[in-house]
Structures are given as structure tokens and as C-alpha cells.
Amino acid sequence: MRYSHRTAIQQRPLNTVVRRLSAARNQVPLRPMTHSADTATDTPFPCARFIKEIGRGPNGARALTADDTRALYTAMLDGRVAELELGAVLLAYRVKGETADELAAMLAGAHASFEPIRLPHGAFRPVSIPSYNGARKQPNLVPLLALLLAREGVPVLVHGVTEDPGRVTSAEIFTHLQIAHVRSHADIEDGLAEHRLAFASIDVLAPKLARLLALRRRMGVRNSTHTLVKILQPFAPAGLRLVNYTHPPYRDSLTQLFNTHPDAAAGGALLARGTEGEAVADTRRQVQVDWLHDGVCETRVPHERSSPDAPEVDLPEARDALTTAAWIGAVLRGEAPVPSAIERQVELIVDVAKIPV
């Protein structure tokens, strides 16, 4: 997707990018995949003609066709792209941004790379909450949202990273809440069936995506996979996804994606501006929430301006995982109030996820 502003990488001269890629060859191999026994999936995938199109900078780059995009991203997932070319592709898309058509093709490849989670029919469609950013300035309340939904009978899968230096992850908070991280797809299905809640690291849910996602620490910047995991459809039949964006241009791009690509939109999505990149309601203000389904964008909650006269919201005294977990426990026991923005978010999700009788 294309930003309206340029990132730091976009402002760097080309020779700086080349030096980064050249230096990478002397480090740990960039290739994220192990070898497969399937000869077809071991065949090297040349990328020069693709890089020639997407690597011309933010103004000169051209989008790939849907077929070429899916073939390229599938090869990246399968470990068939040489390390230098893989780095070039990742940085090219970082500068160019993905079009809605390219993102839909990548998402199709991503979905084909892992087995979906299957649940028996129930009163609610399962809900997927991606958690890949963590919290730096505010408490991470994704676990509270998930637990409140589970208490209402909604099966909730939270998937994400287990750690992120400088940030407090949902995984760390779940650990302090004594909610174990699942270790297999079978564990996910059992946890959702028995407790209506499961936390799965991306390594467990979709290992091929996890390996591309992990290249952020190696390269210093995020890549297209970070966007994909946040719009991933982990269920079959399709469940409801909470999708968030951090910059306004993403709202238009994601709306276009879900409105023009039925396969990508299966199950629908609730789209809202995130709280530090997490799909939980911001306790300081009410943001607009759109329900994207069946080719339409329906605004379910309008944006509301924050008021200086609004009562102060009761939140954890600190943002660390232990303090946040203790406060969440107090909320669940009724010893502290549920923030009104999150209470409203729970009501909306319950309404949208409920299967008509």
C-alpha cells in the first residue's frame, strides 16, 4: 500500500540501499526457509524481471499482475528466492507500497501456505485478533478485549509475536494471566472449543509467514508480511477479523482491498484506527469503526471528538506486562470498571459475530 508521505528508506539514495544489501551477504543467511523434499518447491525462483518493475522507486515503480505477485510471494514463502534478491524485493515493496490487487494476491498465497483452523458450528462466528505491535506508551489491553469476548461466548483467537524489544506484547500479558500459548493447530481448535480463547504465536499458526516476518530484525524495517498477518483469515469457514490501521492512507487501501476482492474479504472485517498498532479500542477517544462485508463499507460506530470534560478512565498504573495482567484480573473480577470504549467494542463484535438463528 502507498503512503502519502515518504518513509526514511524512500529518502535514502539508492547507493545506501545497495550497500545494505551487499553487507547483508556477510551476515546470517537471509533465506527464511528450510529445504523441502518436493523438487518443484526447491527450484530457484529468478526475480530480476519483477525487481525491474517494482524497484524503480516510489514514483517510477509499477505494480505486478496478480498472477506474478502471487507467484513471487509464494516463492518467497517457499524459500526459493536467493537472499540478495529477497532483500531487494522486500525493500522495493517497502518503498513502493502494495496496491490492493497485489495485496490480495499475496494474501491468497499466504492463506495457501498454512492449514486453516476449523471449529464446529456455534452461536458465534470465531473472531481473529492480530497482535503484532505491542504497547510502548499505553497499556496493551488486547488480552482484556479477548477475555471479555470469550466471556460472552465468542471464540477468540489472538495471534501474534511473543516478544518485541521495547514493547509489551499480548503474549507476555497472557503468560502473566496464566493463559498458556498453544503449540499446535490442534491445540488452537481445542482451546477455542473448550475455553473460547487461544493465543497462538505466528510460528505456530503460519510458520512460513513467521520466517518472513522475522526478517524485520535482520533488515531493520518491516515488510509486506507485517501487513498480511494483520489481515490474515485463519479460519475455515471464514471468521470475523479485527483489522486496524496506523496511518489514514491505509484505511482507503484496506477498504478498497475488502470491497473489490471477495476472496480476501470472506468473513468480513471490522476496520478501525489502531491503538499503537493494536486492534483494541483506544480508551482516550472513540474512533470510527467500519464493518466491511459483502462488498460494502458500513460505518457501525462514528468518530467522536474527545472532550476535556470526559471523566478520567481507570487504567493500569504502569504499562508493564505484570501490572497490566493484574489490572485485567481486577476488571474481570468486577473490582475495576471496563473502560467504556472497550465495552462498546465488545458489544459491537458480539453483535456482528452472532450467527442469525
Domains of the chain, by residue range, sit at 8-97, 127-353
- Residue-wise pLDDT for 133-179, tens only, equals 999 999 999 999 999 999 999 999 999 999 998 999 999 999 999 99
pLDDT at 10 over 80: no
pLDDT at 9 over 80: no
> Which residues have C-beta within 8 Å of that of residue 58, sequence separation ≥ 6?
2, 6, 10, 95, 96, 97
Strand-strand pairing, 127-131 and 240-245? parallel
- CA 249, 254, 259, 262: dihedral to nearest 10 degrees? 160
The whole-chain average pLDDT of the chain stands at 89
pLDDT at 306 over 50: yes
Measure the CA–CA gap between 213 and 210, rounded to whole angstroms. Answer: 5
How is the beta sheet containing 240-245 ordered, strand by strand? 197-201, 156-160, 127-131, 240-245, 269-273, 289-293, 296-301
- Residue-wise pLDDT for 226-271, tens only, equals 999 999 999 999 999 999 998 888 889 899 999 999 999 999 999 9
Q: Where does the pLDDT of residue 24 fall: very low under 50, low under 70, confident under 90, or very high at 90 and above?
A: very low
Measure the CA–CA gap between 167 and 165, rounded to whole angstroms. Answer: 6
Q: What is the sign of the dihedral through the CA atoms of 221, 244, 228 and 154?
A: positive
Q: Where does the pLDDT of residue 41 fall: very low under 50, low under 70, confident under 90, or very high at 90 and above?
A: low
Q: Where does the pLDDT of residue 23 fall: very low under 50, low under 70, confident under 90, or very high at 90 and above?
A: very low
Residue 13 has a pLDDT of: 44
Single-letter amino acid code for the residue at 143: P
- Residue-wise pLDDT for 89-117, tens only, equals 999 999 999 999 999 999 999 999 999 99
Class of the CATH-defined domain 127-353:
alpha beta
Measure the CA–CA gap between 323 and 3, rounded to whole angstroms. Answer: 36
pLDDT at 5 over 90: no
DSSP assignment, residue 162? S
Measure the CA–CA gap between 188 and 177, rounded to whole angstroms. Answer: 18
The label of the residue with cell 480476501 reads 264
At residue 84, the 3 state secondary structure works out as helix
